Every structure is written in C-alpha cells, then in structure tokens.
A and B are shown apart, each in its own frame.
Chain A
Amino acid sequence: MRKWIFLWVAVLLVYSGHTQMNIQGQVLTETGKPLSGVTIALVHVLKKNIIAFTITNDTGLFILQFNKPIEPDSLQIKVSASGYGSLSTGMQSLPEKIIFRLVPASIQLPEVIVKAGKPAIRYKADTLTYAVDSFVQRQDRTIGDVLRRLPGIEVDRNGRISFNGQPISHFYIDGDDVLADKYNIATNSVGADMVKDVQVLENHQPVRVLNNVAFSDKVALNLNLKSKARLKLTARIETGGGYADKGIYDANANLMVFKKKYKSIHSLKANNSGVDIARDVLSHNLNDILKNIQNHIPAEMLNLNYPRNPSLEQQRMLFNTSAMVNANQLIKTSKDIQLRFNIHQLSDKQAQSYLSNTYFYLPANDTVAYLQQQETVSRISSSQFKFTATSNKSRFYYNHSTTAEFSRQPAHSVTTLNQQISDQRLLQRATNLSNEFNGLVATPSKNILEIYSYFNYLQKPERLTVLPGIVPAIFNAGMPYKTLQQEVTIPSFFTHQSLTYRRPSKKFLQTYKTGFTRQWQVMKSAVSVLQMNNELNTISDSFMNQIQWRHQQIYFDADYDYLGTRVKVTLSIPVSFQHIRYTRASGANRLYDLNQLVSSPSISLKYSTGLESYLLANYRFGNDIGSLQDVYDGYVVQNFNRLTRNSIPSSITSLHSANLTFNYRKSIKLFFLSTSAKYSSGRNNNIGNTQFGSQLQLIEVIPYLQRTRNLSLSASLSKYLFPLKTTVLIKSSIQQNEWDQMQNGIADRFVNSASNFSVTITPKVSQKINVSYSGNYINSFSKPKEQKKVLQSVSQMWHTTELSFFPSANWQLKIRGEDYFIRQQQTGQSGHFFFADLSVLYKMDKMKTDISLEILNLANVRQYKMNTVSANSLHQTAVLLRPRMVLLKALFNL
C-alpha cells in the first residue's frame, strides 16, 4: 500500500502578519484530478482536538488560516476525505504550496459503530440466520428458488439441501418437522414471500433431553415464516394445458396451514408434462436412517437392463403420466405431544426409449459388444402411511412411529439386443411394515436412559417373463420354448432392540449401549419355461433357490465423548457377536454356520480453529458380514441378458476409511469454504466374475481377495458479492477409485478417475434484469492399474444460462439455454446439444393470479447421446427426448 502513495511534502510556510498563519495547497487524486470538499484540519496530536480547518474548493485548493501556535511541534496537518485514505504531516519545513495526493481506500469506521439492525445474515450460538428479503429475486416463486441462491447452501438436482458441504438431517417449518425427511414438497410449495428467515442449525440435537449433553454434528434447516403466513390458510392452484406431440396437462393444488398448534401441507398433483412428482416424497436421509437401525433391506434382484441415466434435466426426457395425493399433518395436543400423519398415494406411468451400446474391451483385442435398443413402459402405484407421536420435553422424550408402504410396479419392455428381439415383463410388488419406538428419560442424577425398539416386515415378490424363450440350450435342453419366467421373493423380518445409558459430566460423556438385532429371511427363487404346448416346467435345481437365513447379533458399544472448548473427541468401540445360520434346500453345503466377533471402532476429532472454522478428522475401521443376497447359489435370471449366482459361503468385507475436513466461513462477509479429503481402503473375500456369452452374461461371485481403494479430494467455495447481488459458488473435486475386476476368469486391476469443476453465479444486473449461469466440466478416464496408457476417457461440459427480464412490474420474461458437449478422446466422437426454453409470465395483481406461457425445447432436439467409461468398458447411450412443448398455465393464490 505504501508504495502507492506518492506524497510530496516539499515545503514552505508563509507568514502574514505576526499572529495569523497561512498554509496553502491543493489536494489531488493519485492521477492528478483535483478533489473538492476535502477537509484539511490542524490537529493537536496529544489532545486530539482540531484547532483550525478548511475545506478544499472545486479546484482542490485550500487556504488554512490559524493563529500562530505556541507549540507547533505538537501540531499536525490532517487531510481526510471519506473514500480515501487520510494523510498527516508535521508542521516543519512546509512548502509554499503543499500538494496532497489521496489514494482511494475503503472507509474505515470506528469500532463502536454497530452493524445495522437487520443484516442479511446473522450468526449466534450455532444458528445462522439468512434474511430472505436480502436474497430474494423477482423471478423467485418458492423458497426452493431462494435456497439455491443462499451463500453456503446448496440444493442438488434431487432437491437435497446441504450446508457448507454437509447434507441437512432435519427440515423444520417454524420449528416443526412436518414432513419427516420428505421435504421437497415444502421447498417446491412454500412461497418465497411466506418466509422471513432461513435458519441453519448447526450441531443440531433434535432430542431435548440430550441438549447440552450429547455432541451432535448434524445440520438442520428451519424456515421461519412471516406472521401473515401463519395466520391464514394458503392455497395455490396451478393448472395448465398445452401441446407437444399430444395434449399436455399440468395441474397442482397446494393447501398449507402453518399455525402454532396445527400445521399441514396437502397437495394434489397430476401431469404428463415431464415433471417428476415422485420427487416430492423422496426421503433424503433414508440410507442413513436404515444404516443406523442396521436394517439391511434386500435390494431388487430383477430389472429390465436399463442404461445409465444421462446427466440431463429430467423434464427433458421424462415421458410420464403421473398423479399424486400427498397429505401431511402435524397436530400439537395440549400436553405437548405432537401427532403427525404423512400419507401419500402415487400413480405414475413412465415411458423410455433409448439405444444403448456397451463395449467390453477384453485382452487380446477381443471386444464384446452389446448393441441394444429398448422401449420401456413402467407403471408404479404406491401408497405410504406414516403415523408418528412425539413428546419432546427437557427431561423426557418419546417417539413412536408406524409406517406402512404398499407398492406395485408392472413394467414392460421390447428390446432388440444384437438383432434379437425379446419382450420382457416385470412385476415388482412390495409390502413394508415397520414400527419404531424410542424413549429417553433423564434420571434425577442427570444420567440418561434410552430404550429403543424396532420391527420391520418386508416382502418384495418379483416376477420377470421373457418372450420368446431365450437360449434354449441352457434353459430347455436345446428345444425352442415360448417364454421364460423368473420368480424370486425374499420375505424378511428384522428386529432391533437396545438399551443405552449415558453418563454426562462437565466435559466428558460416557455412553454404553447394548442390544441385539435379528434378521429372518427366506429366499425362494425359481425359473420356469413355458413349452410350445403351453406346458409349464420348472427348471432343475441349479436354477432354484430355497434358503432359510438367520442373522443375529448381540452387541455392546462403549462411546466416549470429550467436549472441550476447542476440541471435541468421540471414540466409539462397538463389539458384536454375530451369528449367521442358513440352510439350503439342495446342493452342497446345505447347512452353514458362522460365528464371528466383529468390531468396527471409530474415532472422530473436531478442532475449532476459530469461531467459525474447524478441522474435522475421522477414522473408522468397518467390518461387515454380507447378506443372504451374497450367498444364494442357484442361478437367477436378472434380466434377459444376465444370469447371476454366488459360489461363496459368506461375504466378509473390511474397510478402513479416513476423512479430513476443513470448514471455514465468515458469516458477516458471506463467505463459506469447505474442503475435504477422503481415503478408504478395503478388502473383500469375493469377486464377481463376468463371463460373456453370445446372448448372456453370467456373473458368478467366487472366492477371491479383492482390494479396493478410493481417494477423493473436494473443495467448495461460496461467496456473496454485494455489488453484483449474487452468490458465487465454485466447486471442484477429484476422485480416484481402484478395484479388481474379473472377466472371463481373468482378474485385472483398474483405475477410474474423475475430476469435476463447476461455477454457479446468479447476478442481479439491474432492477429489470437477473441472470444466472452455471458451468460444469467433468473429465473421467479409466485405465488398467499396471499400464500408463489411458484406455478410455470422456470429457463433458455443460452450461446453463437463464435470463430473467422484467419490462414492467407485471411482466416477466425468462429465457433459458442449456448447452451440453461430450467428447470421447480415443474415438474422437463428440456430441453437442443445445436446448432453449422460453417463458412469459403476466401477474394480475388484483386477481392474485399469474398467467404464464412456457415453451420448452424450442429447438425441438429429440435425442441426447452420452458416453460413460468404466474400467475396460464403454457405454454409449442415446435417449429419446420430449418434443417441443407449449404450455399455458394459470396460477391462483387464494
């Protein structure tokens, strides 16, 4: 800074008379422009008072007159102008005309001046509060639109909200968890004008008994509503109609009440315009919740061999006919008990049409290619009922919830694979019932007892029918047949009971937990063929499974938390005795018993480097004994192209994982930074060997010592720029995975690597124009571990730009452009896709109605092609896209 300041002090004092003194001079900018209105003051250095002053005129000139001082040594000439750095000089040997050059500088304010009453963001005791009014833009309709733009907050394509890199665990509306993790409906329905503040609750502890006792690193989000939104019922009805290649409709009705004692969100939605309404009931933390319960739900076993989903906005490729009723109610009784009902019924039909080519590059220039063309129609009708009763008091807590889910998903596809046509029909049904109880009580000696109980019953029968009869050589002794049918079901019962004792002291918390889990499963699967004479034969034993499975564990877990002012340490040492016993109806090893002592210790250390920054280090050594789905040995026809079976008695996996996270923020400057490094290294006692046949792939899991290694580095930076009124989000990540792959009996070690860079910015250009831009670059490659040469690499780039224009208070014009570019380096193949959308909105304030006209996919792009690479395989997918669509909508706010 010093270098910039060119201050000449070369000097003279002019005496006029005996007592009056005069200092003349000029104040200029560093570029030599005269500065007017600058204060020149004669200051007493010790007393700090001003003896005389003058102000520069239009040409920057000044004459400072004053009485001859008694002690000139203690006086200074101080030049100051707001927006510039101030200068001081002594009185000794001043020139005749003194010239001051001022350099622009930020305005320094005395520390006593407090921040304004309501800044955009406030931070106090683990709560970060964003004033919505400071961030909302004119085109925003729902709070979800605003959330996307808040610095430090990120919303992904599925609607999942993260704060500084960490996904939120709870979503509250005025402090109440109305939606039980399925919060997309709120972000898509609650109006931006209904919310006063968005609060991020760090170190969030939802159970009041555990407040100030147990350390929590969870993050929750709360919408603090405006009082007018609490008073009355809010209804929004949106209906629209239009045309694409057929008639299009889109209708939504939302009814919301947010009173203190009663909150509800009801919605009724139906459309065939490509909007995936099933997302409204997406449970974002389901995996974590199940993992906590230790309930390993069996995965679906059969499928229609779908290709990978392109990274494209869903509405561009979803051919749907969907309808959903969703009701969420929360009632508070007089005794502080919350009763909550979450019910939804979904009916959805989706059609897909795509080409998918998969190439496996095997050793010795052997290439296996699957060229597939498929048309699929899948339907789903599902309903879920959830009832929860909660009492959350400072000394006592209980939570009881009962869930029932039923679904039925028939799907039909017509596929041409390597010029062979087949017709597949898949029917998947599910019944899922569960009951959970959790109770905590604080004893008079401040210790805490917790009891937990969970029961789950799950049945998911699946049936796949393939027509015509494929590969008669395998399935029907070479004789042609009509259809092949695979049936599989794994009814499953699981229970988990536990008792926890917590003993807090000032800085130290001891937690002892003991409990047991028990899982009963029966797997039944069979393949049958329908002969030409309509006779149904079940194929012999090797295509059948009948396994009774029991997995139980008794565990004891000792956790120690140290809560210092700067350091938080959590050490967890769970030890469990696991017993697995299963019996097969046929084949070798009919009875299998496994007893094992398993421990998965973990340690976590959090060090606060400052008030708003911390360093977090985790280490965990996990051990896992697989499930029934890892040990069935009869073949299962997963789809018309794939057979699977296992030839191992049990799957044992161990994994070391270590994370290091650094989180920094400066709330007042709206600056957020999160960086993390993750490393994991694992061992597995088995591997899936893929054997490529001309019409079938056979995947057999065999004993093998498999090692995996993953490394990922990521950084994300978010800053609000005041002059542009925008949040800038910059993200970058590098990920590298190393694993073994076995094909045709030959094991190879591969490295996959992906790097990603993205920028998002949403500036407010003027009162009339808002712009948003996001750019994304991904490069991924794969190569054999031993080789230097990259086998496959693909780069993708996409840019999304949205321009909102407001010619007057009632009109709004929005133009959106999306540009996708994909290039595969080795073949030089590339694809370039550009999508444009347009919408015009007119607000009729008097009628509280908005009318909008939307045109999606203006350029009528009908196909999107994408390449992905993994190990030695390349997947090319081409998806059929929705045609140009014109939609006229009316939104009524009642």
Chain B
Amino acid sequence: MKLLLSFFFNLSTCFVIAQDHAVIEVHYNFSHQRDTTQRDKMYRENMVLRIGADKSLYFSNDKAEADSLRRVMIENAIKKGMAEGSSNISIDLRGTKQAQGHEIYREFTAHPGKATVITKFNAVHYFIEDETGKINWEIKEEIKEIKGLLCQQAIGNFRGRTYEAWFCNDLSFATGPWKLSGLPGLIVEASDSKKEVVFALHKIENITDRNLPVRQPVKGIHTSLKDFEKMRKGYLDGLMAGTAANDDPDVSVSMKRTAPPASEKEKAGLFNNPLELLKN
C-alpha cells in the first residue's frame, strides 16, 4: 500500500514539472510617478508575476479583474439594448479601473537577456521582442527579511534609472517584476533611486495545485518595438481620419467615463516621466 501511495504522489509531482505549470504567483504593488508636474499623483496598479520552472509571465491583476467586469457590463448593456429594440446602446463604465494592457513573458533560463512584451492592439496580439540584455547588478552585503523571506540587496542600472533590488536566493527563479531580472534568485522588491518607480511585494502564493500554465498566447505577430510603434502610429493617424469605423453601422455604442482614459494621455506622450528614460 505504501508503494502505491508513493507512486501516486510521485506521479503527480513529476508531471507538474514536466508540463511546466506555474509554481508560484508573486503579487506586487506597483507605483509610478508618471508625471513630475503632478507630484501628488501616483499611478498604482496590482501586478502579478506568475512563475514556472523556467518561464514567467508578468501581468496586471487589475486588468484581469476589470476586463471580466467590463465584459459583463457590456454584455448586459447590449442585451438590454436588444430587448428594448434600441440600436443606441449606452454603457456606463464609470468606476471600472483603467489598467496597463501589456504583459511580459520571459524564458529566464533559456533566454536570460530577453523579454517578450505582449500587447494587444486592435484585437491582435503583438509579441515585441525586447533585448533587455544583462543588467550589471552589483551585489551588496545587505540582507533583510521581506515577509519571512531572506533577501539580499543588489544595485543596477536599467534604461536610465538606478534600481535597488532585493532578491531571494531561496527562490531560485532568475526573474522579477517587469523587465527586471538576472539576479541569483527572484526579485522580490525593487525601486529606483528617486522612488518614482516602486515594485513592492504584496504576497507570494504557492499555486502548484491550481495547474495553471505559464505561456504566451498562441496566435500573434512577432515584431520589434520599432516596427510596432510605426504600425501603431499609422493606425492611430488613420483612426483620426475616420477609417476605422464601427463594423456594424446599425448599432452605435457609446461609453461613458468620468475622465479621458489615462492611456490616451500616455499614447499622446503627455507624461513626462516614463518607466524607461533611455532606450537602452
């Protein structure tokens, strides 16, 4: 019987590794001073880093929640509109949170110096290969405990900012939040020297039992950042000119928001303090 028992346990754990399912999820409270002219306003978002044995995916938890909520609201509004026979459907999206659209996928053992930014534009996934390169981390002697984990300090420069990172060698995943990585352990916390960008640890969960995959969407267009920006600019220009009309002329959908979405301002380059101050 003991043999049978151990057989079952072993079977389950071995498979988990083989299929590279997610092992842990690290939840970060991300904050960013996007606009130095408005020092009192910090952009905040709850981010998740889902990690498997050799892959990780960084995404917005807020977006996942907001998406599902928005989907329900839109469906309900459309149904209501249909039921009333009205072709003008009004959706009140006030109160739903705006969130970053892109995700970052890494194969941190196979391609340590590379990140794939996954972004959805006009209902198509784009995989933007970003050669983040090796951050020249300087390991410090300082050690502190973060939520029960023993972490060590490292300092490194990345795209115009000097980051102070805390990594945990007991979690041997060489990855971290956003595009930060390349330390001998998971980056649990990180912030730039001006505290304009902060990734603070909220919690780490063992999700082995949940059987979630770590992978990028199957379909999408692989591209470089340059080509993507070119395409996006071209498309937005076209949109202004009215080429991208609603598919169904009989139904007009209007959405209400309290303020213009933050992303519009970002697209228009109205923020003066982006995450990446330098291209490389």
Instruction: Using CB atoms and an 8 Å cutoff, list the residues of chain A in contact with chain B.
Output: 35-39, 41, 43, 47-53, 55, 78, 80-83, 86, 104, 106-107, 109-110, 112-117, 119-120, 134, 668-669, 671, 673, 717, 719, 721-725, 728
Contact = CB atoms under 8 A, between A and B. Distances in A.
A722 B23 CA distance: 13
A114 B53 contact: no
B209 interface: yes
B19 interface: yes
A112 B146 CA distance: 10
B8 A116 contact: no
A116 B109 contact: no
A82 B53 contact: yes
Nearest to A730: B4
Contacts of A49: 141, 143, 152
Contacts of B211: 722-723, 725
A83 B112 contact: no
B172 A668 contact: no
A134 to B, nearest CB: 8
Nearest to A54: B184
B210 A717 contact: no
Contacts of A37: 54, 108-112, 174
A721 B12 CA distance: 6
B15 A721 contact: yes
Interface in B87-111: 108-111
Nearest to A134: B210
Given A39-B185, A55-B182, A722-B209, A107 B11 contact: no
B115 to A, nearest CB: 13
6 contacts: A37-B108, A43-B169, A109-B206, A721-B12, A723-B21, A725-B211
Interface in B114-164: 134, 139, 141, 143, 147-150, 152
A669 B13 CA distance: 10
B203 interface: yes
Contacts of A86: 172
Contacts of B12: 669, 719, 721-723
Interface string B188-214: 000000000000000111111111000
Contacts of A53: 139, 183-184
Interface of B: 4-5, 8-9, 11-19, 21, 23-25, 51, 53-54, 108-112, 134, 139, 141, 143, 147-150, 152, 168-174, 182-185, 203-211
Contacts of B174: 37, 39, 55
A719 B8 contact: yes
What 5 pairs between A and B have smallest CB-CB spacing?
Answer: A37-B109, A723-B15, A83-B53, A112-B148, A39-B184
Given A82-B172, A109-B24, A104 B11 contact: no
B172 A119 contact: no
B90 to A, nearest CB: 21
Given A81-B54, A722-B209, 14 more contacts: A37-B109, A37-B174, A53-B139, A53-B183, A82-B53, A82-B54, A83-B53, A107-B17, A109-B206, A110-B148, A110-B170, A114-B205, A116-B205, A723-B18
Contact of B172 (A80, A104, A723): A80
A892 to B, nearest CB: 17
A116 B53 contact: no
B152 A104 contact: no
Nearest to A717: B4
Contacts of B206: 109, 113-116
Contacts of B11: 721
B186 to A, nearest CB: 9
Contacts of A41: 169, 184
A137 to B, nearest CB: 14
A862 to B, nearest CB: 42
Contacts of B203: 114
Contacts of B5: 671, 673
Contact of A722 (B15, B173, B185): B15
Contacts of B172: 39, 80-82, 86
A81 B186 CA distance: 11
B218 to A, nearest CB: 11
Given A48-B143, A49-B141, A106 B17 contact: yes
Contact of B205 (A82, A113, A717): A113
A849 to B, nearest CB: 15
Contacts of B4: 717
A39 B112 CA distance: 11
A415 to B, nearest CB: 50
B139 A119 contact: no
Given A37-B112, A119-B210, A83 B54 contact: yes
Residue with the greatest number of chain B CB neighbours at <10 A, chosen from A35, A110, A671: A110
A50 B184 contact: yes
Nearest to A115: B206
Contacts of A112: 147-149
A613 to B, nearest CB: 12
B210 A120 contact: yes
Contacts of A119: 209-210
Contact of A82 (B141, B173, B183): B173
A671 B12 CA distance: 11
B205 A52 contact: no
A133 to B, nearest CB: 11
A669 B108 CA distance: 29
Given A82-B172, A721-B11, A48 B150 contact: yes
Contacts of A671: 5, 8-9
A358 to B, nearest CB: 41
